[in-house]
């Protein structure tokens, strides 16, 4: 979240409040390139990217977006340098601790999804405290994907259902899309209406593979640290010109 001195900014007049996506997913890409272009270490890009995320979350609140899900750290990101991984984990921990009071006051409901077993105990504790403190909030539902992989999520759901079949709890013939969806990390969220990917990359990188089946996809060359409210405004304008048919004529 941004500073408490930030005033509420009303929805731009060229956006139709009845045509806004209610759940937005974001692949926050380009932190490293942003830093490299300026001669900064990669960590500076991640720090600036965290500031961008704070403002986007506040913007979602101001403009009436119900849910925001962001890809913070993938299962593949463990392949980065240990220095960068350690910095990111510390950054996540600090954000959950330092922003908690404001998330509570702003009504944000925080959830963290992914395989959290490999995270540090201190980060897991910070996540647990933030979850508990915000669980009754009714504002923006803010979901952060850490150590997350879409394929792994689907495999996990299938394993749970396979165990239930073995135990006779369910029949294999009863398994359908609705049942499988109940065992995904995002079971209590509607599927995203819009996926935003920054930095111009044309792929979804193992993010919400099941949930994005009918999401509109918006790709911008803007690097994540530069993705400000104007860039978000343009993404929403683009979305409002889409005709969502969900496979129908």
Residue keyed to tokens 């500076």 = 44
Element holding 70 (H helix, E strand): strand 67-74
User: Per the residue annotation, which of 55, 77, 137, 226 is the catalytic one?
Assistant: 77
Element holding 233 (H helix, E strand): helix 229-240
94 is written with which tokens? 């600090």
Task: Quote helix, strand, coil % in the chain, to nearest 5.
Answer: 45, 15, 40
Active site residue 77: yes
Q: How many residues does the chain have?
A: 249
- Torsions phi, psi of 111, nearest 5? -135, 145
- Torsions phi, psi of 147, nearest 5? 50, 50
| Whether 111 contacts 67, CB under 8 Å | no
Active site residue 29: yes
Of 121, 137, 174, the residue nearest 61 (C-alpha): 137
Q: What is the DSSP letter of 78?
A: G
User: Per the residue annotation, which of 29, 31, 147, 193 is the catalytic one?
Assistant: 29
163-180 in b/e burial notation, b at 16+ Cβ within 10 A? Answer: ebeeeeeeeeeeeeeeeb
Q: Which residues are catalytic?
A: 29, 77
């Amino acid at each position: 979240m941004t500073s408490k001195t930030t005033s509420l900014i009303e929805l731009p007049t060229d956006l139709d409040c009845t045509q806004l996506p209610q759940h937005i997913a974001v692949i926050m890409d380009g932190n490293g390139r942003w830093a490299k272009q300026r001669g900064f270490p990669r960590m500076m890009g991640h720090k600036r990217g965290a500031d961008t995320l704070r403002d986007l979350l506040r913007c979602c609140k101001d403009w009436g977006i119900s849910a925001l899900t962001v890809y913070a750290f993938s299962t593949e990101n463990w392949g980065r340098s240990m220095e960068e991984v350690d910095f990111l984990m510390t950054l996540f921990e600090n954000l959950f601790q330092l922003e908690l009071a404001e998330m509570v006051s702003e009504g944000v409901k925080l959830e963290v999804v992914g395989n959290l077993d490999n995270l540090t105990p201190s980060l897991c504790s910070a996540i647990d405290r933030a979850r508990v403190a915000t669980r009754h909030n009714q504002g923006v539902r803010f979901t952060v994907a850490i150590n997350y992989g879409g394929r792994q999520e689907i495999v996990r759901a299938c394993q749970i259902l396979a165990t239930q079949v073995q135990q006779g709890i369910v029949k294999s013939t009863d398994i359908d899309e609705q049942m499988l969806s109940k065992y995904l990390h995002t079971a209590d969220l509607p599927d995203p209406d819009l996926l935003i990917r920054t930095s111009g990359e044309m792929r979804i990188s193992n993010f919400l593979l099941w949930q994005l089946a009918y999401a509109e996809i918006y790709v911008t060359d803007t690097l994540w640290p530069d993705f400000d409210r104007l860039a978000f405004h343009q993404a929403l304008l683009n979305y409002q010109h889409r005709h969502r048919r969900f496979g129908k004529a």
